[in-house]
Structure 1
Amino acid sequence: MAFPKHSIPQALSLLVLAGLLVLGQVPGEPEAEEPDIAVAKSDPSKCPTDCSCTAEGAVDCAGVDLVEFPSGLPNTTRQLELQNNKIETIRVEHLSYLHQVQTLNLQNNRITTDGLEDEGFDMLEELAYLYLGNNKLTSAPKVLPPSLVSADLAANQLTKIFPYTFGYKPKLSTVYLHNNNLTDAGLPDHMFNCSDNLEILTMSSNSLQTVPKNLPRSLYRLHLKRNKLEKIPAGAFDDMPKLRELYLQYNFLSNEGMDNETFSLLNSLEYLDLSNNNLSVVPKGLPRNLMLLHLEKNSIRSIPADALVSARNLEYLLLHNNKLRSRFIHPAAFQGLKKLHTLHMYNNLLERVPRGLPRRAKTLMLLHNSIAEISRNDLSLLYTLEELNLSYNQLSNAKLHRDAFRKLRLLETLDLSGNALHMLPAGLPRSLKNLEVKNNRLSSIEDGALTGMDKLQKLILSGNELRLNSIYQGAWMELSELTTLDLSSNELSHIPSDLPESLEYLYLQRNRISSIPFSAFEGTPNIKGIFLRFNRLSVDTVDESSFAHLSSLQVLDIGGGSGDTTFKRMDMDGEEETEEEETS
């Protein structure tokens, strides 16, 4: 932080005054003021040992192993950096002459409540930014100056806040109190009385059982996660018209601990996080402007028809890791949510694709459920869908309708991994750019299964039972935009022929390939990575000239299953570089 240059008339006046006192001293009069010492302390030309000082008033003593507050600081100091030291005590005399300090950073020291005198900070009339995080305070300072703009007391051991700690601070905008030991009893009823411009308050990771009372109506971000909240009192958020972000995750909130009006008056609320609580039903009375709603990791079993009806502007709805079953999701639950584009419902108990899904959805995550069947019309209204994840369900070809994906003409990413498919589904969208069908039971790629998929860039087929003679001839050449092909952990005996010219990465590890002929990669001049580890290759069965013309090749991984593994990399001139690495 830069500060304007500052003149020193005050220091000069003190020098003149000191000289007059010495010359005109009355015999026998006590020397209580010790003017010479005061002048030494406030001399702007001096800088404490191990610190750096600038003419603009910045003093940096950070991380120099100080065990005591430094003496001899210039009285023109405006920015004082004392973080990352071992300071335990701050007395009034340490701060009494620092009248111009605006920023005081004491983070990560060893300051205790007993080592902090109550009047210390109150006399810093220009103090705007106070950083006391990561110390050993058990109580907050009783009085902080009215000039305060931001206060950080996070990661202490605070159990007590006082009325004048944060009260009567008209400029106060941010307060950080997370990671302390605060309880409801340790907070005054009007903790922010006459601090009417507070915008950000973080009280996460404490032991609060209820929402603090009388919070400023100026707040726009409130963090209360990782407390012990069981209920939200009626009216707790009724007078917070500017609140945009509310974080309540990792508490003990249940539907019984809230009512339909708990959030209804938060007209500016855009972000609400209720994840990791004890909710069993999607709460009602959500505000109209809400855009992102976190409800994951609860025990939600149902979504009533009218639960989301008020949240007309909702764009992201995260419901993963709950106990939802399709039959307990009302068909009208998502009706009217015209802006909802991202819906996460993975790790639930869904036995089929829920009915009435939002028609303008772009991302639908249904992985890790128990979906065993997709009928012809389950997805037919999702015209705008771009990403669909159905991995790790119980899908088989017999119960996957051949027209299940026919209306998804904008779909770019489809994940069907971890199911029980024995061949690629029919009717895959021609718009696909990424297709993953790993860890299934694919034993063949039927004739024409990839025809027309000229936009496909990434195809992942690892962990299946594919053999060369089970893949129709010319399958790969049809994929004219393909850059990544993963056929690892299959039963291939040779390098596939007719690989597309666009290919950049080829994964063939864990197959049964025993040789690499001269012509293996003659059709892939742009390839950058070839992975052949854990096959049946030997020095005698690899024709190294097959790689010589691959000027873009960066990684060639030909390894064994045990012992020393050789990584071979080609540089841009085709020169071979060999690096030995021992595998465990």
Structure 2
Amino acid sequence: MELQEIRSHPDQSPCECLATHSDHLLVFFLQNNQLQELPYNEVSRLAGLRTLNLHNNHITSEGLPDEAFESLQSLQYIYLANNKLSVAPQLLPSTLRIVDLAANHLTRVYPFTFGHKPGLRSVYMHNNQLNNTGLPFDAFNGSDAVSTLILSNNLLTYVPQNLPRAIVRLHLQNNRISRIPKGALSSQWRLRELYLQNNNLSNDGLDPSTFSRLKSLEYLDLSNNNLTQVPAGLPPNIAILHLGRNHLSHLPPERLSRVRGLQYLLLQSNALTASGVHPEAFARLRSLHTLHMYNNRLEHVPPGLPRRVRSLMLLHNQIAHIGLQDFAATYALVELNLSYNHLYSAHIHRLAFRKLRRLETLDISGNQLTLLPAGLPFSLQVLNLQKNQLNSLSPERLVNLTMLKELHLAHNRLRISGIYPGTWQELHGLKLLDLSYNELSYVPPDLPESLEYLYLQHNRIAVIMAEAFLTAPNIRVITLRSNRLLAANVSEAAFADLKLLEVVDTTGNPEPITISLLQAGPWVRTQMGT
């Protein structure tokens, strides 16, 4: 039989649409209309219908009587999301594979809404008003093949019991869940994704065996709850564990040691102190490559960091010093963020980064540094130092950084007199240099030949001399916004040989700056302003 697909037309009612087409209709699209009820007398004739899409209408429970789907014994896919149902349909065909009732006003589900449907695979009920009373214990009896169950954004106060054994994805985030009854997840050994974030879970609401039987679990999100400890009994195959925005103050060794497959551990926005992190807390996490501990109360780098960690986020803590051994064992680090701590230049050991031979991105912005850190790794590609107190740059601090592509120095106290000769000489690969919001009186000399983006806005630059960009012929963008430039003090010769130049921004200076760039090609765009 040839597949027939019918879509309603804006000028044609559903009844007229059905009357003009074959009884062998398999797919019927009625979404995005103004229907307040299902034309079930007409729909009931479509015995062979497999897909019915009623998404985004105004259908109420009164407009969807119990017998509406009684004759549709071939129906496999029904989409009723974004309607005005207050209770779920009591009787749905046993042939269903996908049921979407999301974004309604559901307060109740019945035993035969989803129950006794051996082929049912996916159920979507997020963004409703379901509480536990409205979801009966036998809601999924006889529907053992359900693998996706989405119940997020409802009013559940505990994890429903007697869930299908075949569940792979279970979404319960954004409810009011304060406990997981003992045994509620004991049969879901196929479960891979469990979302429980944004609930009211505390450790008192968890049994030590709550998660222990979830042998296939790979993704567990418990963020934004009321946990004071890492839950006990976590299964070994979890790859991603979200515990951010809780009330954790300690990391004992035994809670994480079983999770040997862990790759991502997110602990941000808790109450962790360095003394509360046991030296063996991460000892057995040999696959862990991403660790987020930002926005905690760490007063120094925590001990026993995972040896193979590649991305380490320690920003927004209270770290006041970096010692010789703090990163001695984290040789695989590629990204390290120490921004917005309490670091001073004198409190960063000159050999603190000596072992980080793979480090590509280092962020120490938002601290109290007056000098660039010593001993920066040769592998660095991005260095962020904005919002410090830097007042000088010397070549020995940037020595051999031939792979550096971006250097961010905005919002410091740099003056021309503090940038020593030869500062840029080792930066053969530098493409972006941000010196905005400093105290520069003119363009720094001897810029790298590789430079493409130069940001100098919000300085005190009053003159652009002819040789300003002589050593940087590949510049594409120059921003000189909000300086002290007068037209008479800007040499057009400074820009004459910049063949790749695309943007020169001179807005916000005391008077309009007009730069003639006839030799630079047709793509140059000069920003004008007052």
**Worse-superposed segment, 559-568 or 241-250:** 559-568
What is the identity, as a one-letter code, of the residue corresponding to 1:266?
A: L
Look up the match of 2:451. 503
Question: Judging changes above 3 Å, is the alpha-carbon distance between structure 1 residues 421 and 314 closer, same or farther for their aligned structure 2 residues?
Answer: same
**Worse-superposed segment, 539-548 or 270-279:** 539-548
The reply to whether residue 223 of structure 1 matches residue 171 of structure 2 is yes
Residue of structure 2 aligned with 1:111, choices 56, 59, 62: 59
The reply to whether residue 292 of structure 1 matches residue 240 of structure 2 is yes
For 2:383, what is the secondary structure of its paired residue? strand
Look up the match of 1:249. 197
The reply to whether residue 357 of structure 1 matches residue 292 of structure 2 is no
Shift of 1:71: 4.7
**Worse-superposed segment, 144-153 or 468-477:** 468-477
Look up the match of 2:495. 547
Look up the match of 1:373. 321
For 2:109, what is the secondary structure of its paired residue? coil
2: CA distance, partners of 1:520 / 1:574? 22
Structure 1 segment 33-48 matched on structure 2, within 5 A: none
The reply to whether residue 147 of structure 1 matches residue 95 of structure 2 is yes
Question: Judging changes above 3 Å, is the alpha-carbon distance between structure 1 residues 223 and 355 closer, same or farther for their aligned structure 2 residues?
Answer: same
Look up the match of 1:59. 6
5+ unaligned residues in a row in structure 2: which ranges?
none
Look up the match of 1:165. 113
5+ unaligned residues in a row in structure 1: which ranges?
6-55
Shift of 1:547: 2.0
Look up the match of 1:240. 188
TM-score (norm 1): 0.87
Look up the match of 1:519. 467
Look up the match of 1:305. 253
For 2:504, what is the secondary structure of its paired residue? strand
What is the identity, as a one-letter code, of the residue corresponding to 1:428?
A: L
Look up the match of 2:79. 131
Question: Judging changes above 3 Å, is the alpha-carbon distance between structure 1 residues 460 and 166 closer, same or farther for their aligned structure 2 residues?
Answer: same
Deviations 1:120-160 (A, max 9, x none): 12311221111100000001111111111111100000011
Shift of 1:65: 9.3
The reply to whether residue 409 of structure 1 matches residue 379 of structure 2 is no
Shift of 1:567: 11
Native 8 Å contact 2:88 2:106 kept in 1 = yes
Native 8 Å contact 1:567 1:580 kept in 2 = no
Look up the match of 2:216. 268
2: CA distance, partners of 1:305 / 1:86? 58
What is the identity, as a one-letter code, of the residue corresponding to 1:312?
A: R
1: CA distance, partners of 2:520 / 2:465? 22
Native 8 Å contact 1:515 1:541 kept in 2 = yes
Question: Judging changes above 3 Å, is the alpha-carbon distance between structure 1 residues 427 and 580 closer, same or farther for their aligned structure 2 residues?
Answer: closer
Shift of 1:313: 0.5
Question: Judging changes above 3 Å, is the alpha-carbon distance between structure 1 residues 343 and 571 closer, same or farther for their aligned structure 2 residues?
Answer: farther
Shift of 1:91: 3.9
2: CA distance, partners of 1:545 / 1:247? 61
Shift of 1:326: 0.8
2: CA distance, partners of 1:507 / 1:568? 20
Shift of 1:544: 2.6
What is the identity, as a one-letter code, of the residue corresponding to 1:233?
A: P
Native 8 Å contact 1:67 1:88 kept in 2 = no
The reply to whether residue 80 of structure 1 matches residue 31 of structure 2 is no
1: CA distance, partners of 2:56 / 2:529? 42
Identity %: 50
Question: Judging changes above 3 Å, is the alpha-carbon distance between structure 1 residues 189 and 457 closer, same or farther for their aligned structure 2 residues?
Answer: same
The reply to whether residue 192 of structure 1 matches residue 145 of structure 2 is no
Look up the match of 1:424. 372
Question: Judging changes above 3 Å, is the alpha-carbon distance between structure 1 residues 512 and 459 closer, same or farther for their aligned structure 2 residues?
Answer: same
2: CA distance, partners of 1:69 / 1:539? 74
Look up the match of 1:10. none
Native 8 Å contact 1:69 1:89 kept in 2 = no
Deviations 1:224-271 (A, max 9, x none): 001111111111111011100000001000011112211011000000
Shift of 1:66: 6.0
For 1:490, what is the secondary structure of its paired residue? coil
What is the identity, as a one-letter code, of the residue corresponding to 2:383?
A: L
Shift of 1:312: 0.6
Shift of 1:88: 0.3
Shift of 1:79: 1.5
What is the identity, as a one-letter code, of the residue corresponding to 2:489?
A: T
Shift of 1:323: 0.8
Question: Judging changes above 3 Å, is the alpha-carbon distance between structure 1 residues 563 and 495 closer, same or farther for their aligned structure 2 residues?
Answer: closer
Native 8 Å contact 2:504 2:525 kept in 1 = no
Shift of 1:405: 0.9
Look up the match of 2:403. 455
What is the identity, as a one-letter code, of the residue corresponding to 1:138?
A: S
Look up the match of 1:101. 49
Question: Judging changes above 3 Å, is the alpha-carbon distance between structure 1 residues 69 and 294 closer, same or farther for their aligned structure 2 residues?
Answer: farther
**Worse-superposed segment, 153-162 or 373-382:** 373-382
Question: Judging changes above 3 Å, is the alpha-carbon distance between structure 1 residues 568 and 128 closer, same or farther for their aligned structure 2 residues?
Answer: farther
Aligned residues: 529
Structure 1 segment 275-354 matched on structure 2, within 5 A: 275-354=223-302
For 2:204, what is the secondary structure of its paired residue? helix
Native 8 Å contact 1:558 1:568 kept in 2 = no
TM-score (norm 2): 0.96
1: CA distance, partners of 2:519 / 2:154? 56
Question: Judging changes above 3 Å, is the alpha-carbon distance between structure 1 residues 384 and 579 closer, same or farther for their aligned structure 2 residues?
Answer: closer
Shift of 1:522: 2.5
Question: Judging changes above 3 Å, is the alpha-carbon distance between structure 1 residues 287 and 511 closer, same or farther for their aligned structure 2 residues?
Answer: same
Look up the match of 1:31. none
Native 8 Å contact 1:69 1:94 kept in 2 = no
Deviations 1:91-145 (A, max 9, x none): 4312121122211111110000001111112311221111100000001111111
Native 8 Å contact 1:264 1:287 kept in 2 = yes
The reply to whether residue 476 of structure 1 matches residue 421 of structure 2 is no
Question: Judging changes above 3 Å, is the alpha-carbon distance between structure 1 residues 94 and 545 closer, same or farther for their aligned structure 2 residues?
Answer: farther
For 1:94, what is the secondary structure of its paired residue? helix
2: CA distance, partners of 1:238 / 1:567? 73
Structure 1 segment 198-209 matched on structure 2, within 5 A: 198-209=146-157
